[in-house]
Amino acid sequence: MTDFLPLKRIDYIEFYCGNAKQSSLYYQYGFGFKLTGYSGLETKNSKCASYLLEQGKIRFVMTSSYDDNSFISEHVKKHGDGVFDIAFEVDDAAKSFEETVKRGAVPYLNPVKIEDSNGYIIKSAIRTFGDTIHTFIERKNYKGLFLPGFTDASARAPKGITDTGLKSVDHMVGNVELGKMLEWVRFYAETLGFSQLLSFDDKDISTEYTALMSKVMQNSTGKIKMPINEPAPGKKKSQIEEYLDFYKSPGIQHIALTTPDILTTVAELKKRGVEFLSVPKTYYEDLIKRVGHIDEDMKDIEGTGILVDRDDDGYLLQIFSKPVQDRPTLFFEIIQRKGARSFGKGNFKALFESIEREQALRGTL
Ligand code: FE2
């Protein structure tokens, strides 16, 4: 079967935020991203300021508006800071638009050619859950830094910031409302040609208080993975409901970033002020029994608060940040895969109990 939507890679992830200048510094100082591009008033962009940040293959764009009643400002007013756009690089942005809209996608942006002295790009976009979109970027005729309108900003980057070893986006998780998961699973299957990799129900993902259900969707190459969560009925408010309450709609819950050396990466992130969830000491008591031998020193794993899980293909190491803005919405996962292709099912319980402790502190459990 031919893939009607061959996605080459995640091109960039764009965040709408209240103050892109300051947010970009958080990702530089905290996460070790490098400022490489800028678009704003000085580059004749009177609409918004955008900062391009890069680390490994990861590209984030932080954007805020100059105008009080712009779409960007409305987005920030409603959702707080969060992910607006997960953009995919494609060979043909017009065809990607046509094929997905034909299959039911709601158009956001008709194919448009944008050029500067470095050539041109064609982009188009469709809506996904909440106010989130997917942009299709065709850049084969473009030689510039990033997109037309962006200038090299590397000279503005603070000196002496080293990267933290982050390499790529492993997966991006969407939270949708109760009863809507299957609808969005179908959207990714029928409209974007994704297939289902894994499924978790509330028996897999529940604690005494909260539960959720999740299905992992991936594109034909398996490089782009998007799990979709919905809350399941529990005794108290689940983390998914808390997210929906504060984000005011479905949206991106977390982005998982890969590293080849999680111990070093997480030690660096912590030193730079990124906050992580912690699990109780008891988590580590029977860990060896559960996951068997791992290459890393168990003392280091426990000392850094890393979670470990094993599947048929190997094991994985992971840790979750606290929310990265004041609203308890978007957070990050840092993941190192050593063969494992799953998502840490064995850690869900410990992780959720940890999130519930945070929710209790916020008074939102
Ligand atoms: Fe994850």
45-49, 111-115, 207-211, 220-224: the lowest-pLDDT one:
207-211
Residue-wise pLDDT for 150-197, tens only, equals 999 999 999 999 999 999 999 999 999 999 999 999 999 999 999 998
Instruction: Check if the beta carbon of residue 56 is closer than 8 Å to that of residue 334.
Output: no
The residue-averaged pLDDT of 95-113 equals 98
Is residue 312 in some structural domain? Answer: yes
Show the domain range for 218.
168-362
- Separation of CA 171 and ligand 1 centre (Å): 7
- Find the 360 Cα to ligand 1 centroid distance in Å: 22
- Tokens representing residue 323 in the block: 């929310």
Whether residue 353 has pLDDT greater than 90: no
Q: Region 219-224: what's the mean pLDDT?
A: 94
Same structural domain for residues 101 and 178?
Answer: no
Q: Residue range 215-225: average pLDDT?
A: 94
Q: What is the CATH number of the domain that holds 325?
A: 3.10.180.10
Q: How confident is the model at residue 1 (pLDDT cuts 50, 70, 90)?
A: low
Distance 246 CA to ligand 1 centre (A): 20
127 and 219 in a single domain? The answer is: no
Q: Residue 168 and residue 27: Cα distance in Å, rounded?
A: 15
Q: Which two tokens stand for residue 319?
A: 């840790």
Q: Is residue 348 part of a domain?
A: yes
315 Cα: distance to centroid of ligand 1 (angstroms) = 15
How many domains is the chain built from? 2
Q: Say if residues 267 and 304 touch (Cβ distance below 8 Å).
A: yes
Query: What average pLDDT does the structure give for the chain?
Result: 94
For residues 202 and 229, give the distance between their C-alpha atoms in angstroms, rounded to a whole number.
Answer: 11
Percent of the chain with pLDDT over 90: 82
Q: Is the pLDDT assigned to residue 121 strictly greater than 70?
A: yes
CA of 108 to the centre of ligand 1 (A): 27
Q: Looking at the predicted structure, is the pLDDT value of residue 344 above 70?
A: yes
Q: Are 254 and 171 in contact (CB under 8 A)?
A: no
Q: Hey, what are 166's tokens?
A: 């982050």
Asked which of 103, 132, 156 is the last residue of a domain, the reply is: 156
- Do residue 126 and residue 172 come from a single domain? no
User: Pairing between strand 58-65 and 7-16?
Assistant: parallel
Residues 182 and 280 in one domain: yes
More confident residue, 211 or 145: 145
213 and 343 inside one domain? yes
* pLDDT, tens digit, 9 for 90 and up, residues 125-143: 999 999 999 999 999 999 9
